[in-house]
Amino acid sequence: MDIGFVGLGQMGAGMAARLIGAGQAVVVWNRDRAKAEPLAAQGARIAASPAEAARAGVVLTMLADDAALEAVAFGEAGILSAGGGVLHVSCSTVSVALTERLTAAHRAAAQRFVSAQVLGRPDVAAAGQLSIIAAGADADLDLCAPLFAAIGGKTLRMGSAPAMAAATKLAANFSIAAIIETVSEAMRIAGAHGVDPTTMVDFLTETNFGSRMIGVYGPMIAAQRFEPAGFPIRLGRKDVGLALDAAGDADVPVARLLAARMDRLIAADGGVRDWSALGQPAKPSEEGAAPAV
């Protein structure tokens, strides 16, 4: 299958490499061309624009936020200008509102659109074990099945409206943030009485508190292993904010508390540490530093 891939950051590079390794003919584009060169060495062709990548027929996008996805979809030489028949598979964690806007815009351009947001960190992407949270027309999801198999260990179909996948992913990321905060505070309570953080992680993972997310983040918190960031706090704050937007009038006080905590960390040290540090104080050496842009 001819595949376009747009967005070659920590996550996208690993996903595109998995598709190449699965024997797909991959055309890649990234705003910084240098990030595309390693994939070209693996057999990918580098496109001159998102539209050129999309003309492969099926194009996956993996971008940091709403603004980045809007630029490659709606911008000059963007995916929507590639012509009819294109299937755009958006893997980025973005807002429900943008997902609905993209759904309508692709329909108007005689294109198709699927939201297939992914759950996992860069090492999981490189290993092809992401969880794929997908929503869209059944025929389009069926067409994408071999691609999802190359980049993910499991695909969960959430419904026929792409916005369903976006809402699910935002709910999931909020839940991860809540787990990180809970584990951090649990360590602090037990630690006040001499319990070693690693011992506390073992307790949490070996009792009924155990979960895959505690298994991932608990050891990072215990070892204070927050850099280099696989997923920085500033991006986590973006996702919690989008979850708050998606909640509408629903009462979500924990999400608001998490957003406020993240805002304090970002104001103090830029939010550049991994979001597993969201239950920690700001880095003393950077207290008062300007927020990252």
pLDDT digits (tens, 9 = 90+) for 144-202: 999 999 999 999 999 999 999 999 999 999 999 999 999 999 999 999 999 999 999 99
SS3 244: helix
| 238 plus 254 within the same structural domain | yes
Please give the positions annotated as active site.
169
| 171 neighbors 239 (Cβ within 8 angstroms) | no
Tell which of 160, 189, 224 closes a domain. Answer: 160
- In total, how many domains does the chain have? 2
Contact (Cβ atoms closer than 8 angstroms) between residue 72 and residue 78: yes
**How confident is residue 284, by pLDDT bands cut at 50, 70 and 90?**
low
Nearest CA among 229, 232, 217 for reference residue 182: 217
Kind of pairing between the strands at 2-6 and 152-159: unpaired
Q: Are residues 137 and 171 both part of a single domain? A: no
Do 236 and 198 lie in one domain? The reply is yes
Q: Are residues 113 and 188 in the same domain?
A: no
Domain of 131, in residue numbers: 2-160
Give CA–CA dist 221/218, Å, rounded: 5
Task: Name the least confident of 58-62, 246-250, 282-286.
Answer: 282-286
**Does 17 share its domain with 152?**
yes
In a domain, 107, yes or no: yes
pLDDT category, 35, cuts 50, 70, 90? very high
CA distances from 7 to 16, 31, 97, 260 (A): 9, 8, 21, 30
Q: Identity (one letter) of the amino acid at 184?
A: S
